[in-house]
Amino acid sequence: MINVVSQAEDKVRLQRALISTADKTGLDLLIQGLLAVNPDIVMYSTGGTFSRTAEIIGSGYEKNLKQVSDYTGHPEMQGGLVKTLDHKIYLGLLAESFNQAHARDLSSTGAERLDLVVVNLYPFEKTVADADISSEHARGQIDIGGPCMLRAAAKNYLRVAALCEPADYQGFLAVLKEGHGTTTLQDRFMLARKVFAHTAAYDAAIASYLARQGSGDIARAYQLSNPEEQ
């Protein structure tokens, strides 16, 4: 059954953020800006984004920065294939403010409400623009967790803000400063519109690339084996 929401918050105070970026451009501006708005903000991050954010914050970063794997209780899958696809993450993104059942789910699992998602996706289009790129290299640049997080956050624009491009960081920080550390429903809705356009274009680029690949080209990219031969 689809929840029909009749009550929503206008202003939401930024307290917890989930940050996972392929492109680290402007990350220093964003992190420093978030800390300036709320020195007690808690940020959850993964891999290279975690390391870079720790460098930006400096000594004592543990107060504000947590590993996603520590939060979820599950290590990252080898190759980074599974990092953020976790029940606690999506409870925190999709929980609605005035839904008591959602509040109980958060409490029973130890999940936290997330107020902001900052994700930019693996550079698929840039990768496949190279005429010599292999189909396997292209396959590896298909982002799964990133679009899922962005879509979940954007769907719950009733409470969660979503940033999908570094170019939006400065404007978002200005919104936070003007709102004394809060975003409005209108702010979050406008960000959600951009997210869905962005992820739609990303999926279209993947579909277009795959449509150009012949089955023979794919077969030649791998050493094929059959179970009965093993």
pLDDT of residue 86: 81
Is 189:155 a contact under the CB 8 Å cutoff? no
Position 62 scores a pLDDT of: 96
Closest CA to 119 of 158, 89, 76: 89
pLDDT mean by block of 10 residues, the chain; 230 residues: 79 96 95 98 94 97 95 69 76 86 84 95 84 84 91 97 97 97 97 97 93 79 73
Amino acid at the residue 214 = G
Question: What superfamily in CATH does domain 12-219 come from?
Answer: Methylglyoxal synthase-like domain (3.40.50.1380)
**Residues 157, 112 contacting (CB under 8 angstroms):** no
Measured CA to CA, the distance from residue 176 to residue 148 in angstroms comes to 25
Q: Across the chain, where does the E strand assignment appear? A: 12-13, 16-21, 42-45, 65-67, 116-120, 161-163, 182-183
Structure tokens at 154: 């954007």
Instruction: Spell out the domain ranges in the chain.
Output: 12-219
Question: What pLDDT, on the 0 to 100 scale, is given for residue 230?
Answer: 55
In angstroms, rounded to a whole number, what is the distance separating the alpha carbons of residues 25 and 179?
25
pTM: 0.88
Query: What is the phi/psi pair of residue 80, to 5°?
Result: 70, 20
